Structure 1
C-alpha cells in the first residue's frame, strides 16, 4: 500500500501567502513616493510586515511553517514592484534565515527557524564573499565594504568587535548574521547576534541615492558577548574547501536580490503604463514601440530569473546530498540572471522617465542604480565565461 502526502494544506498556505503579499504591496504602493522622499528607517514598514506575518512566513520550509524558495521569491518580487526598498529588506531577511542550514546543520537550523517563526524575527546581515574587503572602492567604511570583525575567545564563548555596513534593517532587525575572524585560530566564523545585545550600536545611513527606506547603515560592535550557541559554523577559507550546500549561500542571496531588481523594473513599467493609458499619448505608435521594447526586456529577464529560481529551488531541496559540481552550475545561472536583470532594470527605469512625466517615477531609476552598482557586469560575465569554458 502506497502512502501519499496530502499537499492541499501546503498549497493553501502558499496561496494565502501570495494573497497577503499582494495586499501588502498595494498598501506599500499607496504611499511609496512620500516614504521614499522622507527616507526614514523602515520602522513603520517593518511594523506593516510583521502585522501581515511576512517575517515569520519567509523562513525556510519546515513542518507547518516557512516558505519554499519559489514562493519566497514570488513574495519578494511582488513586494519590490510596489516598494523596492522593502523588497530588498525582505530579500535579505529571507536569504539570511537560511544561514542555519548553510552553516550550522539541519538539527540546529530547525530549532533556530522555529524560534524565528514564533518570534517574528526580522533578519539582516553581511557575510563576506571570498575576496578581501580592501578591494572595495572607498575602503572599509564605504557601503558594501566588509572589513573583518574579530572574535576573541572568552570562557566558553567569544567577544565580538568590529564594524560592518548593512544594506537593510540596521536599526529595525532582530537578528544579525555576520562573519568574524577568531583571533586565536584565524578561522572565519559565522555568528548570529541579537540586535538588542549590549555593545551593538546602529548608525542609520542618510541621504542615499536610492533604496532610501531599506534601512541601510553601519553596525558598530563593541565587546559584544557571543555564546558558543550563537556560532553557526565556519566559513571556509576558499571556494575549493566549501561544502556544496554551503556554497549556495552567496548565490542564494544574489538571486533573492535579482527578484528585487526585476520587481523594480516591473513596477516602473506598470506605473508608467497606468499614467499613459487614457491619454492622447496612449495612441502614439512610437510609444507602442517603446513599451514593446521595454516589456520585452522585462519579460526576457523574468524568464532567465525564473529558470535560475527553479534550479536554485531544486539545489536547496537536495540539502547535504547536493552534488559537488552543482553549485558552480547554479552560480553561473544566477550570474546570468543578475546580468540580464540589471540591464533590464536600468533600461526600463531610465526610459519610463522619458515616456511618462509624473512625480516619483525617478525613484525606480535611483533604486535600480543602487541595486546594481556593487557588482560590475564585467565580473559576472567573466565568471559565466569561465564556467562555460572550463566548468569551474
Structure 2
C-alpha cells in the first residue's frame, strides 16, 4: 500500500448489539464520522479508524435477519441509512457499497453451510468487498473475465489475476472475486484479504471519492478452497434478472446524502458570514431573500432526492415480497431496475446543481481550500460518472417506446 496518512481517532461509542436503522448509537456513530470527513477528504487521510468503528458497530449486518444475529432492516431502511452515511461522509458510504451488494446476494440464496458461515462472519463484524473489473475487458460493465483464473491445486485451486475498481477492498476482510474456473466457466471466489498472495494497492487517483480504495487488487498464487468457489449455476447462488440494481441505487443514495451535507454547509455558511455585498437587499446574509431562495432550493433538492431514492428502494422490497408469496420475480426485478435507473438521472442532476448552488450562498471566500466545499461537486461528479446518464436515458426511452427490456448486466 502506498505511504499515505492514516488518521486514528479515539472511539467513544459502545455497542452492545448490532446497530439498527433507528438505534441511537447509529446517530452517534454518524455524527462522529461527520466530524472529520472534510479534513480526511482534503488531506487524503485514509479512514481505517472509521471502518474499524463501523466493524465494531456491526453495521454490515443491518440487512441480516434478527433471528440470525443481524439488524433485521428492510431494503428501504438500508437505503435510509446509506443516505445518512452519505451525508456524514460519502467516501465511507462508498467503501461499504460492495459489502451490502455481496451480502444481499447471499441473503437471497439458500442457507448452505458456506452461506451460513459468511453470514456469521458479517454478524461478527466482517466486511466484504468485490473485485470484478478488468481493464483488459473490451466493454466496461460486461462482466467479461480475461486474466483472472483458477488452476487446480490438489483438492482446491490457485488463483492468479488482477482487478481494478475494487472499491472498498483496501479496508475489508473478504473479497468476492469474479474469475474463470479451469474449464472456462465463470464463477466467484470469496477469499480472505489477508491470505498470502492477495495484494491491495491504493492507486486510485480520481479527483473525487479519493478515500474509497478503488484501486488494483492482485492475486498471485492464492490458495482457494473448493467450498470458497461459487459457480453461477450453483443452487445456493440465487441471481435476479437484474443483479446490479442494488449497487446502482447505492451510488444514487450517496449522492442524495451529499445534498443533505451541502444544505448543512450552506446554512452554517450563512450564519457565519460577517458581511454581505454592498448592493445586497439586506444588511445580514440571513435576511437576504436571494440567499434564502438559494438555500430553499438546496433544501428542496435534498427532500426530492431522498424521496426518489426511497421510492426506488421500495421496488427492491417488492421483489422480496413477491418472492415470499411465490410469485414471478422477473417483473418486479424489471420495475425495480427502471425505478433505480430513473432515480439516477434525476438525483445526480440535483446533486451537481446543489453542489454549485452552495457557492452562490457565499462569495469568493467559499473557494478557500480550508473549507473544502468543492469536495461535494468532486465526489458527486465521480459517483455519477460510474455510468453515464445519456446511456441510462436512452435505455429508458427504448423501453418506453419499443418495450425493449433494460440491459441485464452491470449498471442496471
> Taking structure 1 as the reference length, what is the TM-score of the superposition?
0.83
User: Does the Cα contact within 8 Å between 2:315 and 2:332 map onto a contact in 1?
Assistant: no
- The within-5 A match list for 1:1-392 is 14=20, 16-17=22-23, 19-55=24-60, 57-63=61-67, 64-66=69-71, 67-101=73-107, 105-108=110-113, 110-127=115-132, 133-136=137-140, 148-184=147-183, 186-205=184-203, 207-234=205-232, 245-277=239-271, 279=273, 280-319=284-323, 321=326, 322-356=328-362, 357=366, 359-389=371-401, 390=403, 392=405
Distance 1:380 1:206 in 2: 25
Which structure has the greater CA radius of gyration? 2
Distance 2:342 2:90 in 1: 21
Alpha-carbon shift at residue 145 of structure 1 (Å): 10
Q: 1:326 to 1:107 in 2, by over 3 A?
A: same
Alpha-carbon shift at residue 235 of structure 1 (Å): 7.2
User: Does the Cα contact within 8 Å between 1:41 and 1:169 map onto a contact in 2?
Assistant: no
Alpha-carbon shift at residue 391 of structure 1 (Å): 5.4
1:238-273 alpha-carbon deviations (Å, 9 max, x no partner): xxxxx9843343111111222111101211122212
Distance 1:81 1:28 in 2: 10
Alpha-carbon shift at residue 197 of structure 1 (Å): 1.2
Alpha-carbon shift at residue 325 of structure 1 (Å): 2.5
1:276 partner SS:
helix
Q: 1:206 to 1:379 in 2, by over 3 A?
A: closer
User: Does the Cα contact within 8 Å between 2:159 and 2:221 map onto a contact in 1?
Assistant: yes
Distance 2:175 2:96 in 1: 14
Which portions of structure 1, spanning 4 or more consecutive aligned residues, are displaced by more than 6 angstroms? none
Distance 1:168 1:51 in 2: 21
User: Does the Cα contact within 8 Å between 1:61 and 1:68 map onto a contact in 2?
Assistant: no
Which residue pairs with 1:6 in the alignment? none
Q: 1:151 to 1:145 in 2, by over 3 A?
A: closer
Distance 1:118 1:101 in 2: 13
User: Does the Cα contact within 8 Å between 2:155 and 2:226 map onto a contact in 1?
Assistant: yes
Distance 1:264 1:216 in 2: 19
Distance 2:200 2:95 in 1: 16
Distance 1:145 1:80 in 2: 30
Number of residue equivalences: 365
Q: 1:15 to 1:221 in 2, by over 3 A?
A: closer
User: Does the Cα contact within 8 Å between 2:33 and 2:88 map onto a contact in 1?
Assistant: yes
User: Does the Cα contact within 8 Å between 2:70 and 2:123 map onto a contact in 1?
Assistant: no
Distance 1:296 1:339 in 2: 17
Q: 1:232 to 1:345 in 2, by over 3 A?
A: same
Distance 2:80 2:290 in 1: 33
Distance 1:128 1:388 in 2: 30
1:153 partner SS:
strand
Q: 1:13 to 1:363 in 2, by over 3 A?
A: closer
Alpha-carbon shift at residue 99 of structure 1 (Å): 3.1
Alpha-carbon shift at residue 341 of structure 1 (Å): 1.3
Structure whose residues are more often helix by fraction: 1
Alpha-carbon shift at residue 349 of structure 1 (Å): 1.2
1:333-374 alpha-carbon deviations (Å, 9 max, x no partner): 110111111111111112213324261211111111111112
Aligned-CA RMSD value: 3.0
Q: 1:198 to 1:146 in 2, by over 3 A?
A: same
1:196 partner SS:
coil
